Amino acid sequence: MAALSPLNCPTSSSSSSCSRITPSSPCFSSRTLSLSSSSFKKFLPKKISLQFPRYWNVLKTQDGAVAATASPSENVTPLKNLKDVLSSVTSSKEVREATNFDTNEHDSTVSIVVVGASGDLAKKKIFPALFALYYEDCLPKHFTVFGYARSKMTDAELRDMVSRTLTCRIDKRENCSEKMEQFLKRCFYHSGQYDSEKNFAELDTKLRDHEGGRVSNRLFYLSIPPNIFTEVVKCASKSASSANGWTRVIVEKPFGRDAESSAALTRDLKQYLVEDQIFRIDHYLGKELVENLSVLRFSNLIFEPLWSRQYIRNVQFIFSEDFGTEGRGGYFDNYGIIRDIMQNHLLQILALFAMETPVSLDAEDVRNEKVKVLRSMKPLQLENVVVGQYKSHTKGGVTYPAYTDDKTVPKGSLTPTFAAAALFINNARWDGVPFLMKAGKALHSKIAEIRVQFRHVPGNLFNRSFGTDLDRATNELVIRVQPDEGIYLKINNKVPGLAMRLDRSNLNLHYAARYSKEIPDAYERLLLDAIEGERRLFIRSDELDAAWALFTPVLKELEEKKVMPEFYPYGSRGPVGAHYLAARHNVQWGDISAEHPQV
């Protein structure tokens, strides 16, 4: 391993890519140059640990980046000197000159190993996202993509498989076919068993051949079932981890089925990894509108003062799909809609929405605030949950199947395909405000959105104009995550004319109309963050524990009591019970009477 020094620090998570990112690059951001950013914090590790052979990398910073075999005493002086130098300069240019930090592209490389490369997720999401990053010049100059799976396949066959899913959907600045060809030349394949250290050692040999003696940084994406996570991590840690750079692992959900299995999975992974090397991915956190949630709140003075129980009556998180399990019923039946959508996607968005202002945008500061929100919430009660399951329905001469008609689903299954829940946060900001979640399959539309309903105007002079339905006069902020991304605010407005007639209007930010650039896929953002070592949009272990603590009791109660789901027709708005649940908390679902703005 290379010795850690301020002149050439292989621990930098951006060392492999910073030479590719310029102010004109689409991947350029303030964190690239800011002294307070995570990039430069990696030069100043808060702790250094030497723990053989348990962890993949011998010497690691708090960031999880790994670099050296020098003893702690050997590192004290250069690190202290580097810190003194950094504190005396103000610009990024001065930092580079003062540290002589070598960002030469020839000194490091990134190897991205997609474990489970023959699966649907890899073919439909991961490889296309990597190509999009390459097309946008966001990947380092030296990178290699390796597919690893049990299927027998040659490099040429992998490239043929991958090429079928690649599209140049981003600005056509360069010839699409040329970029595809260049990208595919960097894609290789190795067949092996997931529990074979020998096969991973063979992979390591191939990786080293392509790395060509450079500082090797390795990212493993586990696109495989969770029951083999530990075996893969064990084999890779012993046989294919980086010898002189960082090694990181992206883990796909589900992260267990309940608090106990999740904790067991975390313990197993931490036999071979430290927390900072584990990137638990929830692709919803990479959605553009979810990423924009903090910007909307914390950079607009108009919203932050209103973001509390004083002005907000309820908040709704709505997720619906207009199709059923369609052959995935066997997998889905083991988890159900609560585990599949609510406990992760919707709860993560809730935590981002409700958190207090973090000290900074540093990953740990943001995740600390999210954990505080989750720990402040009351465990979900069965009385505040409604579950449903779609049944067969004929519409327009077409018969749509019931959930249990799926041949991969056990007959008589009680697994919910729909759930609605009311949650509460016990803190000064949100006390008494219901946070309602609703998620389901085979519903009338495909949509994901956040709806913030504000309180009624006290002593409203124009109540008579709205009649008895005061909800019509309620201001509502809608953040449409997908599809047709947008943000709109419902306000009351006078209709032009001599009479005093009021109307509800939308102040609308429609992304497709406002921005010509196509919105990147969530996997692109998250993969780039993992390569750069940015953890803000990934889930920490204590955050995962707090999330499961909220849902595990009610999940066990549903299963132990064999609660019968309420059936709803395929293509409908879901069970009637969901409306009764909302009414019990004096709430009307916003998507029921929603007039989505047309642009």
Instruction: Provide the 3-class DSSP secondary structure of residue 487.
Output: strand
Total Cβ atoms within 10 A of residue 205? 12
Residue with tokens 């190897």: 111
Instruction: Write the CB contacts of 460 (distance below 8 Å, at least 6 apart in sequence).
Output: 473
**Half-sphere exposure of residue 231: CA atoms within 13 angstroms, side-chain side:** 13
Query: Which entry of 345, 456, 579, 585 is annotated as an active-site residue?
Result: 345
Task: Give the strands of the sheet with 247-252, arranged side by side.
Answer: 187-191, 143-149, 108-115, 215-222, 247-252, 278-281
Is 536 in contact with 529 (CB distance < 8 Å)? yes
What residues contact residue 96 under an 8 Å CB cut-off, 6+ apart?
A: 103
Other CB atoms within 10 A of residue 49 CB = 14
- The gap from C-alpha 355 to its chain's centroid, in whole angstroms, comes to 17
Are the C-beta atoms of 39 and 14 separated by less than 8 Å?
yes
155 φ, ψ (degrees, to nearest 5): -60, -40
Q: What angle do CA 174, 177, 180 make, to 5 degrees?
A: 95
Cα–Cα dist 423/385, whole Å: 9
Amino acid at 1: M
Instruction: Spell out the alpha helix ranges (H) of 334-396.
Output: 336-337, 347-354, 363-375
Amino acid identity for residue 468 in this structure: T
The question of whether 345 is a catalytic residue gets the answer: yes
**How remote is the C-alpha of 468 from its chain's centroid?**
42
Check if the beta carbon of residue 146 is closer than 8 Å to that of residue 111. Answer: yes
Nearest C-alpha neighbor of 547 from the set 362, 344, 270, 292? 344
Which token pair is 537?
A: 């949009």
The neighbouring-strand residues paired with 504 are 492
3-state secondary structure (DSSP) of residue 278: strand
Q: How far is 375 from 426, CA to CA, in rounded Å?
A: 9
| Interatomic CA distance for residues 415 and 388, integer angstroms | 8
> 105, 20 in Cβ contact below 8 A?
yes
Q: Cis peptide leading into 483, omega within 30 of 0?
A: yes
Q: Hey, which residues are catalytic here?
A: 345
